[in-house]
Amino acid sequence: MFMHLNTAFSATDRESGVSGNLRMERLRETSAFSFTQSEAGMKDILLLVRDDAGQPARVQVAVSVARLLEATVTCIKIDQVSAERHDEDGELLNEAIRHQSDANQKMIDNLFAERSINHQWVAARGSLIDRLIEQAAFHDLLIVNTHMSDHARGDSSFVVSQLVRAIDQPLLLVPDGLIAEDFGAHATIAWDGSRPCIAAMRAAVPLLRKAKIVKMIEFGRHRGGPTIDRAAVYLRNQGIMVHTTHDESLHDPVHWLISRCRPGRTSYCVMGAFGHSRSREAVFGGVTLAMLEQAKIPLFVAH
């Protein structure tokens, strides 16, 4: 086993004679490939349901993922009506909002029934972020948009980054207006060797197994952690054939990723988000935020 894991260390480490303690530290990091659970599947999907601009794309992706994985979709409906409005106008407004929410639920019920998708409902009240964090603990995947707002916190990037940081389960972040034709046919993994990246790749295994083409790409100089070749070995051991690309000359990773992660070239991108290392966060955290702003395909992320 240790001979097998030793392939995760870069040639530079072996040539420079890194200390035994450092090698053991990296071995423990690499052990994430072998000792954490990755075979539980992805059978319970949590979908945010609310009548907004991002809902059609969220629902379309949820249907596609549920079909691919034979999963059940839990639709969460969060009542964010302000409790402070007790006047007559406030009550009329609240009633209108609830009526719209009920009509939206009926529309989702009909759509899922037409597509033979198993689904159930959870009703909650209060903060969007807090309720999603609570419910995500009991599901394998959360589907929301790359841009979304909370009535209490208007900054969409703040809402999404808070969810990514707080939730242990992976998230599928869907751009508004996405038309997901043949979702899952072509997957791209953005590799950087970090623990969040490993976590995202492992969590995505059930989806990656369904893909016709899987590509793994790395930009710039390798910054430590398991190499892209070691990650490819892991995926092949899971029955996933993967094509790897490592370009050390790149200085604009966001432009490079965006050019390769667009509709027609790939269905979704798997990537880590917001690692704990300050130096890594400065580079890859910035890439994550830029991808949230610019990506036109879903992002499968974990941290």
pLDDT tens-place values along the chain, 303 residues long: 333 333 333 443 444 344 444 444 444 444 455 434 344 589 999 999 999 999 999 999 999 999 999 999 999 999 876 545 566 666 777 788 888 989 999 999 999 999 999 999 999 998 899 999 999 999 999 999 998 766 545 556 678 888 888 899 999 999 998 876 678 899 999 998 989 999 999 999 999 999 999 999 988 777 778 999 999 999 999 999 999 998 877 667 777 788 888 888 899 999 988 654 444 444 445 777 788 888 889 999 987
Q: Where among 156, 174, 192 does a domain terminate?
A: 174
49, 104 Cβ separation under 8 angstroms: yes
CA-nearest of 165, 237, 242, 227 to 191 is 227
Q: Where among 148, 174, 200 does a domain terminate?
A: 174
What pTM did the predictor assign?
A: 0.81
The answer to the question of residue 160 being in a domain is yes
187, 208 Cβ separation under 8 angstroms: yes
The answer to the question of residue 148 being in a domain is yes
Same domain, yes or no: 191 and 136: no
Same domain, yes or no: 64 and 108: yes
Angle at which helices 228-237 and 195-203 cross, to 10°: 20
Same domain, yes or no: 74 and 162: yes
Same domain, yes or no: 52 and 164: yes
The answer to the question of residue 31 being in a domain is no
Q: What is the dihedral of CA 65, 125, 56, 259, to 10 degrees?
A: -70
The answer to the question of residue 26 being in a domain is no
Same domain, yes or no: 221 and 189: yes
126, 82 Cβ separation under 8 angstroms: no
Q: Give the pLDDT confidence score for residue 22 in this predicted structure.
A: 47
Q: Give the pLDDT confidence score for residue 19 in this predicted structure.
A: 47
The answer to the question of residue 25 being in a domain is no
Q: Distance between CA atoms of 38 and 210, rounded to whole angstroms?
A: 15
Same domain, yes or no: 163 and 208: no
Chain-centroid distance of CA 276 in Å reads 17
The answer to the question of residue 204 being in a domain is yes
Same domain, yes or no: 147 and 195: no
Q: Give the pLDDT confidence score for residue 36 in this predicted structure.
A: 43
Same domain, yes or no: 139 and 202: no
Using DSSP, state whether 183 is helix, strand or coil: coil
Same domain, yes or no: 192 and 154: no
Domain harbouring 58, CATH code: 3.40.50.620
Identify residue 277 by its one-letter amino acid code: S
Range of the domain at 112: 44-174
Mention every residue, 6+ apart, whose C-beta is less than 8 A from residue 95. Answer: none
Same domain, yes or no: 169 and 48: yes
Cα angle, residue 298 at apex, residues 297 and 300 outer, rounded to 5°:
140
Q: Give the pLDDT confidence score for residue 109 in this predicted structure.
A: 98
The residue to which tokens 């019920």 are assigned: 109
User: Strand pairing partners for 188?
Assistant: 215, 269
Domain count, the chain: 2
- Give the Å distances, CA to CA, from 232 to 5, 10, 198, 226, 227: 13, 14, 11, 10, 9
Q: Where among 174, 189, 216 does a domain terminate?
A: 174
Using DSSP, state whether 88 is helix, strand or coil: helix
pLDDT digits (tens, 9 = 90+) for 97-148: 888 989 999 999 999 999 999 999 999 998 899 999 999 999 999 999 998 7
* Length in residues, the chain: 303
Mention every residue, 6+ apart, whose C-beta is less than 8 A from residue 229. Answer: 7, 244
The answer to the question of residue 114 being in a domain is yes
Q: Give the pLDDT confidence score for residue 254 in this predicted structure.
A: 77
The answer to the question of residue 108 being in a domain is yes
Chain-centroid distance of CA 30 in Å reads 21
Mention every residue, 6+ apart, whose C-beta is less than 8 A from residue 283. Answer: 192, 223, 253
Q: Distance between CA atoms of 267 and 297, rounded to whole angstroms?
A: 6
Same domain, yes or no: 125 and 79: yes
CA atoms within 13 A on the CB side of 196: 26
Chain-centroid distance of CA 187 in Å reads 13
Same domain, yes or no: 249 and 269: yes
Q: Which two tokens stand for residue 36?
A: 């954490």
